[in-house]
Amino acid sequence: MSSVLTEREGHLAIITVNRREKLNALDHATVGDLQRTVEELAADQAVGAIILTGAGEKAFVAGADIAGLKGQGVLGGHANARHGQSLTQALEDSPKPVLCAINGFALGGGLEIALACDMRFASSNAKLGLPEVSLGIIPGYGGTQRLPRLIGMGMALEMILSGDHISADEALRIGLVNAVYAPEDLLLEVKKKAARMVSRGPQALAMAKQAARRGAELSLDEGLSLEADLFGMISSTEEMEEGLGAFLEKRKPSWLRS
């Protein structure tokens, strides 16, 4: 059975990590399969938003498959980190909104994948953490870089250097997740969030995401210049004409999706 499942609901694509017997832990092949799936969906004009979740009720992704890390050496460790970083970068670079439904354990590489998504929503029984230092290693899929940018250096270092798990409620308090839902409601609520985004202009979504993502790494002046450039670009599109026309004519817009 495939370790990565994809299903469609209209313009919404749902990716499920499907290694239930391993708590959806990531091996080398699964990381590659996930990256290819994300890139294919990101390029598909019919897809308006992507949801990433895990199979079963216990785990989103419980980390890396530890057996595959032992004895990897300097070159192997570097290659392994870059392999995982290619996946997290693909998630971040997707022009489509990517929402993460954290349905249980999100540890190590699992949390790092979640950090690369645009939004994170957790079930009330979720546990999140970067436990790598307890194994004598460090996060390698972007966790040391994205977590401080999201929740601040102090809280991030507490999580990274302790290796401790935190609850879904604590993750919400520190801004690591957007919302917490009962386990049975999680995927439905995330689908509702994604559906709202799918109802918006597809080019506008991509440019707004680009402005926010790229602008966060720039000075304010540079970010404002980027925003103005993108605002100019969107102003030349049929999508803008349709969106403004629909508003003035008091009707729903008809976006150009396959």
Q: Are residues 165 and 217 in the same domain?
A: no
Please tell me whether residues 20 and 135 are part of one structural domain: yes
Please tell me whether residues 13 and 72 are part of one structural domain.
yes
- Residue 215 in any domain: the answer is yes
Average pLDDT of the residues in 195-217: 95
159, with CB counted inside 10 A (0-12, 13-18, 19+), is buried
pTM of this prediction? 0.94
Token pair recorded at residue 251: 């009707």
Same domain, residue pair 42 and 154? yes
Indicate the burial class of 70 (C-beta count within 10 angstroms; 0-12, 13-18, 19 or more): exposed
Q: Strands 98-102 and 119-123: what pairing?
A: parallel
| Residues 226 and 147 occupy one common structural domain | no
Please indicate, yes or no, if residue 253 is contained in any of the structural domains: no
Number of structural domains the chain divides into: 2
Question: Is 130 within a domain?
Answer: yes
Q: Please say which residue of 175, 198, 221 terminates a domain.
A: 198
In a domain, 45, yes or no: yes
Annotated active-site residue 184? The verdict is: no
Set 7, 21, 39, 112: catalytic member: 112
User: Residues 163, 63: one domain?
Assistant: yes
Q: What is the mean pLDDT of the chain?
A: 94
254 part of a folded domain? no
Condensed to tens digits (0 to 9), the pLDDT of residues 207-254 reads 999 999 999 999 999 999 999 999 999 999 999 999 999 999 999 998
User: Domain range spanning residue 210?
Assistant: 202-248
- Residue 175 lies inside a defined structural domain of this protein: yes
Q: Judge if 73 and 153 occupy the same domain.
A: yes
Catalytic-residue membership of 132: yes
**pLDDT at residue 42, as a whole number:** 96
| CATH number of the domain bearing residue 216 | 1.10.12
Of the residues 39, 132, 184, 242, only one is catalytic, namely: 132
Kindly state whether residues 55 and 135 are assigned to the same domain. Answer: yes
Chain segment 99-147, per-residue pLDDT in tens: 999 999 999 999 999 999 999 999 999 999 999 999 999 999 999 999 9
Q: How confident is the model at residue 256 (pLDDT cuts 50, 70, 90)?
A: low
3-state secondary structure the chain: CCCEEEEEECCEEEEEECCHHHCCCECHHHHHHHHHHHHHHHHCCCCCEEEEEECCCCEEECCECHHHCCCCHHHHHHHHHHHHHHHHHHHHHCCCCEEEEECCEEECHHHHHHHHCCEEEEECCCEEECCHHHHCCCCCCCHHHHHHHHHCHHHHHHHHHHCCCEEHHHHHHCCCCCEEECCCCHHHHHHHHHHHHHCCCHHHHHHHHHHHHHHCCCCHHHHHHHHHHHHHHHCCCHHHHHHHHHHHCCCCCCCCCC
What is the rounded distance in angstroms from the CA atom of residue 96 to the CA atom of residue 99? 10
